Amino acid sequence: MKQTERMTQHPLTKYLRSERMPHIWCEGCGNGILLNSFLTALDELKVDLDKIVVVSGIGCIGRAAGYVNVDSFHTTHGRAIAFATGVKLANPDLQVVVISGDGDLFAIGGNHFIHAARRNIDIKVICANNFNYGMTGGQYGPTTPLEAWTTTTPYGNIEHPFNLVHLAAASGAVYVARWTALHVRRLKDSIKKSLQKEGFSFIEVISPCPTIFDRYNKRGTAVDVMKWFKLISNVKHGHDPAKTEITKSQIMVGEFVDVERPSYGRLLRDMTKKVQEKLKEKKAK
């Protein structure tokens, strides 16, 4: 039978604004895989789509907010977490997910990240780390590896990169995981887990950028990059996040943090209740 004759819609179609498909991402870009895993997680959890909000910042991956068929917002550069914090505190019944890039979340938006993690704001942050500013032509950013070539480090990068999972853990995130774009099942499971958990969660997705970063750093085709991820990734659940730097020969992946801590929203509500009760007592006297 010919393929086209039995063409049905993709099972995730209802989660996508399908009139906007195909998306703008390049062939083999990890962003599409991240989105696929996220939507599969929503599907498997049977999440009420009226109860979920997706917020993105600026960048290639920032387009994700425009593709998901739920209430979403594409914020200004670096402000996704600030916006998401507001949404969550205004309506705690909503599940708020931030999907954004390494540049957006950790350069211009870096302070929002560490303080949201410290305050344990109940939002889920998923970062596509492609080690550069893809959208603007491949400038270096806070995750660009030492010596890597980017358009703004033509002689090689001389800055040390952040280890994002260490930063998240040290700042106070209650759930921290890292996967590569090849670990689709585990990534999806981590997203499901974080959605079912209260507090600030952070998932880093090591993502191919075959058009810019991988091409200029001579990593070959998207398939070569994925094979390389397979070769050098090492699954180590519960490993000390401080010891998970990404090197040329190893990408430590796994679930590094999974702890309980009351969220900011819960503490805020408890405090509000306490103060209101005190006021009532005072008035009654």
Partner 1 sequence: MVLSKKLWRTPLDTEKISLPKAEITIQPDLCKGCDFCIEFCPRKVLEKSDQLNKRGIYPPKVADESKCTICGFCAAICPDFAISVTEKKCKEGCEDEK
* List of residues contacting ligand TPP (CB under 6 A): 58-61, 77, 101-104, 128, 130, 132-136, 141
Q: Single out the residue of 90, 95, 102 nearest to residue 53, CA to CA.
A: 95
Note whether 127 binds ligand SF4 by CB under 6 A.
no
Return the number of the residue (152 or 221) whose C-beta is nearest partner 1. 221
For CA atoms 220, 223, 225, 228, give the dihedral sign: negative
- Going from the C-alpha of 234 to that of each of 3, 87, 108, 163, 183, the distances in angstroms are 38, 36, 30, 16, 11
Q: Contact at 8 Å (CB) between 201 and 125?
A: yes
Note whether 174 binds ligand SF4 by CB under 6 A.
no
Tokens of 158: 């001389």
Q: Single out the residue of 178, 169, 179 nearest to residue 199, CA to CA.
A: 169
For residue 251, the one-letter residue type is: I
By a kind-dependent CB cut-off of 5 to 8 A, residue 153 interacts, out of ligand SF4, Mg ion, ligand TPP, none, with none
Place of tokens 């090689």: 156
By a kind-dependent CB cut-off of 5 to 8 A, residue 136 interacts, out of ligand TPP, ligand SF4, partner 1, none, with ligand TPP
What distance in Å separates the CA atoms of residue 157 and residue 141, rounded to the nearest whole number?
Answer: 10
Q: Which of 105, 209, 226, 253 binds ligand SF4 (CB under 6 A)?
A: 209
Minimum gap (Å) between residue 29 Cβ and ligand SF4:
3
Residue numbers 51-110 binding ligand SF4 by CB under 6 A: 60
What distance in Å separates the CA atoms of residue 211 and residue 30, rounded to the nearest whole number?
Answer: 11
Q: Which helix (H) or strand (E) holds 253?
A: strand 251-258
Minimum gap (Å) between residue 154 Cβ and ligand TPP:
18
Query: For residue 7, how many other CB atoms are within 10 A of its CB?
Result: 8
Give the footprint of partner 1 on this chain (CB under 8 A).
1, 3-4, 6-8, 10-13, 16, 21-23, 25-33, 35-37, 40, 182, 184-185, 188, 210, 221-223, 226-227
Return the number of the residue (104 or 189) whose C-beta is nearest Mg ion. 104
Minimum gap (Å) between residue 57 Cβ and ligand SF4:
14
Minimum gap (Å) between residue 17 Cβ and ligand TPP:
19
Write the binding mask 128 to 167 for ligand SF4: x where contact by CB under 6 A, - elsewhere: --x---xx--------------------------------
Alpha helices per DSSP H over the chain:
30-45, 64-67, 80-90, 102-103, 110-118, 164-171, 184-195, 213-216, 222-232, 264-284
Query: For residue 11, how many other CB atoms are within 10 A of its CB?
Result: 10
Minimum gap (Å) between residue 145 Cβ and ligand SF4:
16
Q: Which helix (H) or strand (E) holds 203?
A: strand 201-206
Note whether 206 binds ligand SF4 by CB under 6 A.
no
Write the binding mask 5 to 44 for ligand SF4: x where contact by CB under 6 A, - elsewhere: --------------------xx--x-x-------------
3-state helix, strand, coil in the chain (%, to 5): 45, 20, 40
Minimum gap (Å) between residue 21 Cβ and partner 1:
7
Query: Could you list the residues that contact ligand SF4 (CB under 6 A)?
Result: 25-26, 29, 31, 60, 130, 134-135, 209-212
